[in-house]
Structure 1
C-alpha cells in the first residue's frame, strides 16, 4: 500500500516510511558527522515555548472540564463551535481509528499523499483506490485528501470540498480532509469555519504547527453526530494533562502564531533560493517543507546523508526530495555547505 502513495519502506517489516527516523539515518550513514541535522519532517523547527505546568497536570487525571476548555480554545482559533471539536492523542490515532468509527466499503485517496490514510482504510476492510484529483469520477463511498497536500502542497478550494462533502453525505459516505499543514498557510483554505454538515471530518495536527510533535495532540472537527461518535471511540482521558495545558496555551496565543507565520514565510523563500542555486527545481510545498526535483535526487540524498543531513526521499518518485526548514543560522550554514 505504501508504494501506491508516498512510501519508501522503512525496513523489512513492511512498515510505512516516515520522516524523522534518525535510527534509519544512522544505519544508512554510519560515518556521518553527529548530530544529524534532521530535515526529513514537516515539523516547525522552532517550537512553542512550553509554559510552566501545574503539578496536578502530571499527578491527576484530567477533568472533563479541562478537555472542554482545550477544545473551546481550538474552536476559537479555527472559527467553529466547541461541540464540533474532538481532541485526541495525535492525528495519527484519528487516522487509524476513523475507518472503524465510520464503516465504508470503498474509499478514494487523492495522491500521492500521506500513506497512512490508505493503509488505515485498507486495514479496516475498505477497498482503496488511488486517484489524482477529488473530481475524478469514481464509485467510492469515501474520499480522503490532504489540504494542503503532503508532499507537494497542492490546495483545494473550500467551496469545491464542501460540494464533495455534500455529495458524499447524500450517498451515506464521507469526505476526510487532513489539514495538518493548514494553520500556517494563507486562506481561504480550511473547511472548518463553514463545516458542511455531517458528510465531512477535518483533521488538524497540533505538533507540526507548534513544533511539539512529541506531545501527541491532534483534533477532529466534524458535525455533532460524528464528533460524538469519535469522542466515544476515544474513551475517557485520551489526552494527557500536560497536553491539555500546553495545547490550550498555544492555541490561544495569536501573537506567537503571527510571528511564526512571518518567520516561516521568509525561511521557505530562503530555502527555495538555496535549492534553486544548487540545481534543484522547487515543485511545491508548504511553509514547513519544500518539495524539489532533481535528476540525481537519490545521489543528492546520499551526499547530504554522508554530511549528516537527513532529508526525505520517495520510492515512487525517485527524482523528488522533500526538505524541511533549519532551526537557526548554524543549521542553514551546514545545509548550504553540503549543497555546494
Structure 2
C-alpha cells in the first residue's frame, strides 16, 4: 500500500545494527529504523564512502529527496557488494526515479543484500492510489509478505497499476516523463527569477536552501501553497503545481513575498 508500508516494515526484518541513513532525506526512513531498535548514523553523501565499512545497512534515496542528488549505479553496486560481503544490505528508495531510469538498480535487485523501493503515485500524480513496490531477493520478499499480511493492495490500485505499467502504457509513460521534465525546468526557472535559485532537484521537485525557510513556509501556507520544510540545512522543497491556475498562484505568491519583504 505505497512504498511507505515497506519503509515501516523492512527495519523489523533485520537484526538490530548500525544503520547509515543519507541526510538530508525523507525523514520516515530514519524514524522507521530507529523504531526498529537500530543504531542510526546520519550521513552526508560525501561521508558514505569513509563510513561504509562500519555499517550493517545503508539507506539512501536515488535521486535523493530533497536534494535531487543522483548516485551512479556503479558506485551503488560497489557499496552493495562491500556491504553484502559482511552480511549487510543496501536499501535504495527510487521513489523519484521514473524520469531517470538509467540510474535505477531495479535490474540488479535479485542480488542478496540489495533492496529497491519504487513508487507509483508520484510519477503518475495518483498518490491516493497507495501502490508501491519492493524489489529484492525472494527470501526477503517472503518474510516481508508474511509481515505485511494479505490484501495489502486494493483492487482498483491493481487495475490502474496494470494499465499504467503494462506494455500498452509505454507511450503514455514516455509522454508523461517529457511533460514532467519540462515542468521541472519551468519550476526551476520560476524560482530562480524570484531570487530562490534551486540547489538541486528532479523533474518532480526543486530544492531551495534559504535562511528564510521558516518565513517562506509560513507565508506560502497562508496562501494555500504547501511546500516541504527542512531544518538542516534550512531549506524548502517545491513540488509541481497541478495546473496552469496553480502555476499562476505560485508565481503571484512568490512575487508578493518579495514585495512585502522588500
Query: How high is the TM-score relative to the length of structure 2?
Result: 0.90
1:305: which partner in 2? 221
Query: Would you say 1:246 and 2:174 are equivalent positions?
Result: no
**Which residue of the other structure, out of 277, 300, 314, is the alignment partner of 2:193?**
277
1:296: which partner in 2? 212
1:40: which partner in 2? none
**Which residue of the other structure, out of 153, 166, 169, is the alignment partner of 2:84?**
169
1:152: which partner in 2? 67
| Residues 198 and 283 of structure 1, relative CA distance in 2, 3 Å threshold | same
Query: Would you say 1:209 and 2:129 are equivalent positions?
Result: no
- Structure 2's unaligned 5+ residue stretches are 256-262
1:100: which partner in 2? 12
Displacement of 1:209 after TM fit? 1.3
1:140: which partner in 2? 55
Displacement of 1:110 after TM fit? 1.4
Q: CA–CA distance in 2 between the matches of 1:315 and 1:297?
A: 8
CA contact (8 A) 1:158 1:190 kept: yes
1:156 is paired with a residue whose SS is coil
1:209 is paired with a residue whose SS is helix
1:259: which partner in 2? 175
Runs of 4+ in 1 over 3 A off after TM superposition: none
Q: CA–CA distance in 2 between the matches of 1:222 and 1:234?
A: 15
1:180: which partner in 2? 95
CA contact (8 A) 2:110 2:138 kept: no
CA RMSD of aligned residues (A): 1.5
Displacement of 1:166 after TM fit? 1.4
Q: CA–CA distance in 2 between the matches of 1:216 and 1:274?
A: 31
Displacement of 1:125 after TM fit? 0.8
Q: CA–CA distance in 2 between the matches of 1:337 and 1:116?
A: 32
2:50 is paired with a residue whose SS is coil
2:143: which partner in 1? 229
More RCO (CA 8 Å, sep 6+): 1
1:309 is paired with a residue whose SS is coil
Displacement of 1:196 after TM fit? 6.0
Displacement of 1:299 after TM fit? 2.4
CA contact (8 A) 1:165 1:196 kept: no
Q: CA–CA distance in 2 between the matches of 1:303 and 1:116?
A: 26
Q: CA–CA distance in 2 between the matches of 1:270 and 1:260?
A: 15
Cα deviations across residues 129-180 of structure 1 (Å, max 9, x unaligned)?
1111331325121100000000001111111111111111111111100000
Displacement of 1:284 after TM fit? 0.6
Query: Would you say 1:286 and 2:202 are equivalent positions?
Result: yes
2:260: which partner in 1? none
Q: CA–CA distance in 2 between the matches of 1:297 and 1:272?
A: 17
Cα deviations across residues 87-110 of structure 1 (Å, max 9, x unaligned)?
xx1111101110112224111111
CA contact (8 A) 1:178 1:204 kept: yes
Query: How high is the TM-score relative to the length of structure 1?
Result: 0.70
Q: CA–CA distance in 1 between the matches of 2:247 and 2:75?
A: 39
1:324: which partner in 2? 239
**Which residue of the other structure, out of 9, 21, 24, is the alignment partner of 1:112?**
24
Cα deviations across residues 296-329 of structure 1 (Å, max 9, x unaligned)?
33322233233332222222222x1211111221
Indicate the structure with greater helix content.
Answer: 2
Query: Would you say 1:90 and 2:2 are equivalent positions?
Result: yes
Q: CA–CA distance in 2 between the matches of 1:271 and 1:339?
A: 12
